[in-house]
Amino acid sequence: MNYEYFNAVLINEKDENGNYVELGKEFILEPNEHFNNLPVNISLSDVQIPTNKYNKDPAIVNGVSWSEALNKIFVDNFERDPSLLWQYFGSANGFFRQYPGVKWEPDENGVIAFDCRNRKWYIQAATSPKDVIILVDVSGSMKGLRMTIAKQTVSSILDTLGDDDFFNIIAYNEELHYVEPCINDTLVQADRNNKEHFREHLDTLNAKGIGMLGSALTEAFTLLKQFNTTGHGSTCSQAIMLVTDGAVDTYDTIFAKYNWPDQKVRIFAYLIGREAVFSENLKWMACANKGYFTQISTLADVQENVMEYLHVLSRPKVIDQEHDIVWTEAYIDNTFVSVSDRVLMTTIAMPVFSKKNETRTQGILLGVVGTDVPVKELLKVIPKYKLGIHGYAFAITNNGYVLTHPDLRPLYEEGKRRRNPNYKSVDLSELEWEDKDNILRNGMVNRKTGKFSMEVKKTVEKGKRVLVMTNDYYYTDIKGTPFSLGVALSRGHGKYFLQGNVTLEEGLHDLDHPDLTLMEEWNYCNIGIHPQYRNLFQLEAVKLFLTGKEPHLQCDKELIQEVLFDAVVTAPLEAYWTSLALNRSENADKGVEVSFLGTRTGLSRVNLFVGQEQRTNQDFLTAKDRESIFTADHFPLWYRKSAEQLPGTFVYSIPFSTDTENKSNVVTASTTVQLLDNRKSPVVAAVGIQMKLEFFQKKFWTASRQCASLDGKCTINCDDEIINCYLIDNNGFILVSENYDETGTFFGEVEGAVMNKLLNMGSFKRITLYDYQAMCRATVDNSDSAHSLLDPYYVFFAAIKWIMTELVLFLVEFNLCSWWNSDFTVKAQSPKQVLQPCDTEYPAFVSERTIKETTGAISCEGCYKSFVIQQIPSSNLFMVVVDASCDCPVGPITMDPIEIMYNESQKCDHLRSQKIRRRPDSCHPFHAEENARECGGALDLTPYLAIQLLPLTVALSQT
């Protein structure tokens, strides 16, 4: 079939003569703000073909041709709903049609590893949940390249398993060897952690002895039956994956005993190696048990042949003609990773199949169609302003994994923005870890509607500070999805809401003040509903809505009414700040640089006392410093910290740093505005200033030298060498010290003995916190061996290297095994440090509010170290004076996290633990009309068969 299409890799490419290359016609691409300013074509889709597929394979070309009709559907969908992002169709043949069209770039090796059929959205939509046991032959005949191919085959099978699946791996020769000996009587969930754990154990497999397949099959059938009765698994499809270089028998007696006549367990046989002596026995086993047989001769064959089993498992769903809609867990879209730390997506997908009656029993899956949905869209039904200062919304999947949560950290290492490998499988119990009995988690997994309360310890400023409060949780299911939604409201906030009325004229007048802004991430008006509104700022949209110039704008009338009230009430601040700026005597040295106010409606007012270019911290109150502004997830940090102090208390803080070159040179002070009466005290706003640290410290040293004596002279002051004076905050961090380098440091690191005494006296208390998303440094061999099981293209290139080595050995009869070995891994020359997921425990410290002044003395070696600590009124600060003449041999108290080390028994318990999960509602394990004769065959050993697929030509003609 001669058909030209837009190949996503080749579009706009020209040869040396300036002519467009084949499949690379001109394809107009223009930057589009909705797609992160990527150059896209919103009129057409284009097609990506995996590197291991032939661009002009007849089956591919035919499929691309008929799927071109999707262009109109994609464009119509986008015009009808402009908030849509990527739309796509993943074909069972491997091609991927994507809208809008975009150019794909291969990596440095010229490889595009993406294969849509290996993505979770494709596999979830195409198949039903499954329990799988993988049997790996480790007899002596599997030595060398066969064992490498077998390990890669097992790894590729693991890639096709998702969170709704369960598995175990058993190696066999004369004996049975569970790859993870701890898991010898059950199956484990196929989440990322478990799959990676089993992959690590694959490296320990060695080929020796004789293969006793009969006992391995008996063990697998027994284990599947036993596990199915527990109700913990998928309770849907069951399969045994057999990875071997041959079978000397058909083992029909075993199948008769355990699997016939129902054939509820499918057998998928993968013959490893080029020989086909025992292929007939393996093929018979697969065909007699509704499975599939395939031969894998090279590493390049692995991925394509492993995925054949997905076509078989999709048959019952296709024959049932069920368009089951699936939703995936949250993930970060590669094209949006630079926009924000929190751009999480979920994919909604469903299968597409042939409806021809004559091929109905074959259950021909054409592919899967899907679209991306930003997770934040699911939370728009809960406006942030209704949740209060500390309130937040979150959602989890049917497996208890977090879909979105303010404490979820998908990325780590600021600046590099690397993905945490485990971010897709963070359990709710790891974020709301105070719920030891998993009451909240289990209620949500079971899709119940309910309420739960508990005391929580919420950290801010990268875990350095902690806010202890009581949260009330409300939760319910999200209809039409496998997700559950939760809302957390902190006691004392969010229960009462101030309402005020002002005229439209007053409000519009004060909205025009230049110092006023609204938060762009809050949904005052739905500016994404139509392309003509997308470039509007929220404040512009609100004004257009209020003046009636854009009647089609959809806006939150209740929120906008409160915005108008806040604008009118806070308008006098502009004149007050202006008068302060004009009164140069109040700020002669320009120590105060900026003043600011934020209200509970996301309205902000900012006044600069110096030029923007003169500000010490120019990121503060901008999108570059997200903690300092209102976002979709949280109120500003200065607002939240102020709300947890007593009314009228100013909260002083400085950013943390121990690096003198990058040390922060500013202090922020803020306090809340509350309405007080006998019944309630809602926080309606917070106000503050940011000043130079030098200015603040100068004020402190001046005050410390003032004494209450009649003559105004001090018998001792902070200038004396016999004492050290510090100003610390309620979390124990130093704001002022005689040693400037100690600014921002935890007091316990400088005065360990004094801090220890304050803890013992109850002036401060230690709070233990846990981080189950941490990354810890670990020393590993400086080797690329891990790639051999993770990247099929790497092992393909490694195989080429192995072949060349063998050729050299043959020609020169010289042993080069110390350079290249048959396992295709390079031995480590030196260890290296890497970051790996881990669990950590770390402390935080808070002061006791009731203690105003405390003195103490510490017995040291030959002296007493005395000190006094006194609270600064109406602030979160304490002045600490310490005797400098006495040295105490007490080590520092640090806040460094400590990795939680688990022994083998604890690791085993974790692997074996089965948390409550909810199975997907749809299950299609088998169908009575299924054509089991479509069960594969031995491959012809030609170099081109790695790109062969089942033809769709006839099947697609009537779709």
pLDDT tens digits, 469-490: 999 999 999 988 999 999 999 8
Confidence class for position 133, pLDDT limits 50, 70, 90: very high
pLDDT tens-digit profile of 351-365? 998 877 767 778 888
Say what percent of the chain tops pLDDT 70: 87
Say what percent of the chain tops pLDDT 90: 54
Which of 260, 295, 313 is where one domain is finished?
A: 313
Do the domain assignments include residue 212? yes
Q: What is the pLDDT of residue 788?
A: 40
User: Is 477 found in the same domain as 586?
Assistant: no
Contact 61, 3 (CB under 8 A): yes
The answer to whether the bond into 100 is cis (omega within 30° of 0) is yes
Number of Cβ within 10 Å of residue 467's Cβ equals 17
Do the domain assignments include residue 61? no
Answer yes or no: is pLDDT of 802 > 70.
Answer: no
Regarding predicted confidence, which is higher, 799 or 443? 443
CA dist., res. 954 & res. 959, Å (int): 10
Give the range among 441-445, 699-703, 778-782, 860-864 with minimum mean pLDDT: 778-782
Answer yes or no: is pLDDT of 282 > 70.
Answer: yes
Which of 471, 490, 509 is where one domain is finished?
A: 490
Answer yes or no: is pLDDT of 783 > 60.
Answer: no
Answer yes or no: is pLDDT of 810 > 60.
Answer: no
| CATH number, position 408 | 3.30.450
Answer yes or no: is pLDDT of 585 > 50.
Answer: yes
Which of 313, 333, 363 is where one domain is finished?
A: 313
Q: What is the pLDDT of residue 819?
A: 30
Contact 442, 462 (CB under 8 A): no
HEC letters along 372-436: EEEHHHHHCCCCHHHCCCCCEEEEECCCCEEEECCCCCCEECCCCCEECCCHHHCEHHHHCCCCC
Helices 557-570 and 504-511: crossing angle in degrees, nearest 10, is 70
pLDDT tens-digit profile of 257-266? 999 998 999 9
| Distance, CA of 741 to chain centre | 36
User: Is 170 found in the same domain as 255?
Assistant: yes
Mean pLDDT to the nearest integer, 33-55: 89
User: Is 560 found in the same domain as 676?
Assistant: yes
Q: What is the pLDDT of residue 40?
A: 94
Q: What is the pLDDT of residue 546?
A: 92
Contact 460, 406 (CB under 8 A): no
CA dist., res. 417 & res. 406, Å (int): 17
Q: Give me the number of domains the chain comprises.
A: 5
Supply φ then ψ for residue 387, to 5 degrees.
Answer: -95, -5
Count of alpha carbons within 13 Å of 209, Cβ hemisphere only? 14
Q: Which of 409, 430, 427, 408 is nearest to 418 (CA)?
A: 409
pLDDT tens-digit profile of 852-869? 889 999 998 889 999 999
Give the range among 209-218, 662-671, 852-861 with minimum mean pLDDT: 662-671
Mean pLDDT to the nearest integer, 872-896: 91
Answer yes or no: is pLDDT of 803 > 50.
Answer: no
Q: What would the two tokens of residue 254 be? A: 């075993």
Q: What is the pLDDT of residue 179?
A: 96
Regarding predicted confidence, which is higher, 493 or 533? 533
Number of Cβ within 10 Å of residue 489's Cβ equals 20
Confidence class for position 799, pLDDT limits 50, 70, 90: very low
pLDDT tens-digit profile of 898-936? 999 999 899 899 888 888 999 888 899 988 888 878 898
User: Is 735 found in the same domain as 786?
Assistant: no
Confidence class for position 584, pLDDT limits 50, 70, 90: low
Q: What is the pLDDT of residue 35?
A: 86
For 583-613, give the DSSP string: -GGGGTT--EEEEEEEETTSEEEEEESS-GG
User: Is 303 found in the same domain as 258?
Assistant: yes
Q: What is the pLDDT of residue 417?
A: 63
Q: Which one-letter amino acid corresponds to residue 571?
A: A
Mean pLDDT to the nearest integer, 826-850: 80
User: Is 809 found in the same domain as 750?
Assistant: no
Q: Is the dihedral of CA 637, 775, 434, 875 positive or negative?
A: negative
Do the domain assignments include residue 666? yes
Mean pLDDT to the nearest integer, 278-292: 93
Contact 855, 865 (CB under 8 A): no
Do the domain assignments include residue 507? no
Do the domain assignments include residue 669? yes
User: Is 584 found in the same domain as 444?
Assistant: no
Contact 866, 723 (CB under 8 A): no
| CATH number, position 739 | 3.30.450.20
Mean pLDDT to the nearest integer, 659-681: 71
User: Is 692 found in the same domain as 560?
Assistant: yes
Q: What is the pLDDT of residue 2?
A: 66
User: Is 665 found in the same domain as 605?
Assistant: yes
CA dist., res. 883 & res. 865, Å (int): 6
Mean pLDDT to the nearest integer, 701-712: 69
Do the domain assignments include residue 45? no
Do the domain assignments include residue 938? no
Answer yes or no: is pLDDT of 95 > 90.
Answer: yes
Q: Mean of the per-residue pLDDT values for the chain?
A: 84
Q: What is the pLDDT of residue 112?
A: 82
User: Is 244 found in the same domain as 170?
Assistant: yes
Answer yes or no: is pLDDT of 164 > 60.
Answer: yes
Supply φ then ψ for residue 286, to 5 degrees.
Answer: -65, -45
Global pTM exceeds 0.75: yes
Q: What is the H or E stretch that residue 728 is in?
A: strand 723-729
Do the domain assignments include residue 298? yes
Regarding predicted confidence, which is higher, 706 or 90? 90
User: Is 677 found in the same domain as 622?
Assistant: yes
Q: What is the pLDDT of residue 805?
A: 41
Contact 736, 703 (CB under 8 A): no
CA dist., res. 90 & res. 70, Å (int): 12
Residue range of the domain that includes 405 = 374-490
User: Is 153 found in the same domain as 302?
Assistant: yes
Q: What is the pLDDT of residue 793?
A: 43
HEC letters along 272-319: ECCCCCCHHHHHHHHHCCCCEEEEECCHHHHHHHHCHHHHHHHHHHHH
